[in-house]
Amino acid sequence: MKLSRRRLGAVIGGATIGAALLPQWMKKVRAQAAGAPVRFLAVRSPHGVDRDYWIPRPTGGGEPGSADMDLMELTFEYENAILSPLTDWRSKITVLDGLDTQIVKGNNTSGPSYQSGGQTRGTYGFHGHNEQGTVLTGAQPPGNRDSGNYDNHPSLDFYLHDRLPAPALLTASVEGTGLPWKNMSYDANGVSRTPTTDPQEVFRQAFPEDFVPPTSGEPAVDYSAGEQLVHTYGEGALMRLRERLVGKERDKIDAHMSAMASLVQGGGGLPAGMCLTSGTDVPTRNGDVGSSAAVLEVARAHARTIGQAFACGRARNATLQILNDYPNWHSDQPEVQAAISALYDASTFRYHENLVHDYWMDGMGDARRAAYTAGLRWNATHFAAVLEELDAIVDPLDPMGGTILDNTIVFWHNEFGHNGHDQQESRHPAIIAGGGGKTLKTGRYLRLRNIESDDRVAHNRLLVSIAQAMGLSDVEYFGDRDFEGNSFYSGPLTQLMV
């Protein structure tokens, strides 16, 4: 159930303007004083990335001029750019350039848990598809990928759920992953958790059939302080404008300011957030895909359900996997089809097995590059839809009336990074969205290291950053137990922290 205009009207009550329609300055002022709990959502897309067409760039091309830049000074609109669907979300995302899943190259056979009767733990020291669990566990992958067992290393979502409990830990997927080593979430024993493909079932995991939201006349929080802050800010701006006007134009400003003051004094104005979802509001969309167009529909239904569960306190952590490498829906995209027409037989072409493998092994070329980036750009449209769904729901626990997106850390990543099979631990794509109530920086491009050097930045540090932003300040390391205490993998990404 999407928070439609009708639903948003119910949230606002007698107010004249909704959260989605507020001017940007009003949204910014409200977010600065957000006090809602921080939620966590990890989103994954398939097929790797070409970093050179994934990062934002200056308008004239080339590399970003600084390691820390405002995304508004850069662009996603250039030839073959992958992230162009996120242009309108630049103020609410941060692009991390130069993150590495370096833990897969650890090959540490001297740690205490590696030695057992003369046998090593049996880890896999390369990088390919079977390291998908590494991204959220921070641990080395098992030598036997079919086991789906990360040897007592839980994923970050499971760990956060254990320490910040809620009724449900949601693990959703658009189409099934099929094999345990393709899953995102891992329990306390390091065993993979099978995602739920049907948004209706995900909804029922979060909302019992008899669940009833709080009475609409009893908002969970008092917005009077936030209303007064917005009113004061706006009044100052209007006063500066008023000084430049005379006659009827000044009279109009005076009348407007008087009306705004009465709204604040009367308790109207900003929306009163509340949980609006009942146990009977099951999504109409099930998990059946059947066409490439349906991928977006199911992804939206999952994201909407997760957002509702966050708003109603039914969940605080979730994962959402939008396809994996084997479903062939990327092959059907018109831009992909047009680009590969001279390279492959369209009747047998498969985006992953043909294009993704050939892209790194046989050289890019203009046609392969156009096709590959078009498929990844299609991934970005799905992520943009997730952000839209979360941003459409007013957060009941935010005294400033922010959205669920404002108070959620959304971590979008891929199963591997920039390079061919078994060499994909480098330049792993990562975007942080929402910022979790301003606990992490948003609206930034952050280059974490010299991209062309042998330097590496362990992604374990991003997991630490997320845990600390969730309020767990005692977490200084997250990942493979035999690397705990190793400074290379420890501590947060200071560039990302507020």
Range with top average pLDDT, 147-151, 259-263, 320-324, 412-416? 320-324
**Superfamily (CATH) of domain 37-219+277-489:** Alkaline Phosphatase, subunit A (3.40.720.10)
- pLDDT for the residue 121: 66
Q: What is the largest CA-CA distance in the chain?
A: 91
Q: Distance between CA 169 and CA 319 in Å, rounded?
A: 9
Domain boundaries, the chain: 37-219+277-489
- pLDDT for the residue 166: 95
Vertex 379 angle, CA 132 and 346, to 5° = 100
Answer for the pair 238, 268: CB distance below 8 angstroms, yes or no. no
- Any idea which of 74-83, 224-233, 313-322 has the lowest mean pLDDT? 224-233
Answer for the pair 102, 425: CB distance below 8 angstroms, yes or no. yes
- Spell out the residues 6+ positions from residue 452 whose beta carbon is closer than 8 angstroms to its own: none
Of residues 450 and 15, more confidence is placed in 450
Averaged over 305-323, what is the pLDDT? 97
- pLDDT for the residue 37: 93
Does residue 88 surpass a pLDDT of 90?
yes
Alpha helices in 275-408 (DSSP H): 292-311, 334-340, 357-361, 365-391
- The values of phi and psi at residue 82, to 5°, are -85, -35
Of residues 197 and 272, more confidence is placed in 197
Does residue 204 surpass a pLDDT of 60?
yes
- Spell out the residues 6+ positions from residue 353 whose beta carbon is closer than 8 angstroms to its own: none
| Residue of 440, 435, 430 whose CA lies nearest to 404 | 435
Q: Distance between CA 467 and CA 159 in Å, rounded?
A: 9
- Any idea which of 224-238, 279-293, 375-389 has the lowest mean pLDDT? 224-238
| Residue of 228, 236, 241 whose CA lies nearest to 270 | 228
Averaged over 442-471, what is the pLDDT? 96
Please state, for a pLDDT cut of 70, what percent of the chain lies above it.
Answer: 81
Please state, for a pLDDT cut of 90, what percent of the chain lies above it.
Answer: 62
Q: Distance between CA 264 and CA 222 in Å, rounded?
A: 13
Answer for the pair 186, 140: CB distance below 8 angstroms, yes or no. no
- pLDDT for the residue 270: 38
- pLDDT for the residue 273: 60
pLDDT in tens, 103-143: 888 765 444 444 333 335 677 777 677 678 999 999 998 88
pLDDT in tens, 168-190: 999 999 998 888 889 999 999 99
Q: What pLDDT band is residue 34 in, cutting at 50, 70 and 90?
A: very low
- The values of phi and psi at residue 22, to 5°, are -65, 145
Q: What pLDDT band is residue 6 in, cutting at 50, 70 and 90?
A: very low
Q: Half-sphere exposure of 455 toward its Cβ, with a 13 Å CA cutoff?
A: 11
Does residue 340 surpass a pLDDT of 70?
yes
- Any idea which of 27-36, 64-73, 409-418, 461-470 has the lowest mean pLDDT? 27-36
Does residue 12 surpass a pLDDT of 80?
no
- The values of phi and psi at residue 186, to 5°, are -135, 135
Average pLDDT over the chain reads 84
This prediction has a pTM of: 0.83
Does residue 266 surpass a pLDDT of 50?
no
Token reading at 122: 């049996």
- pLDDT for the residue 91: 96
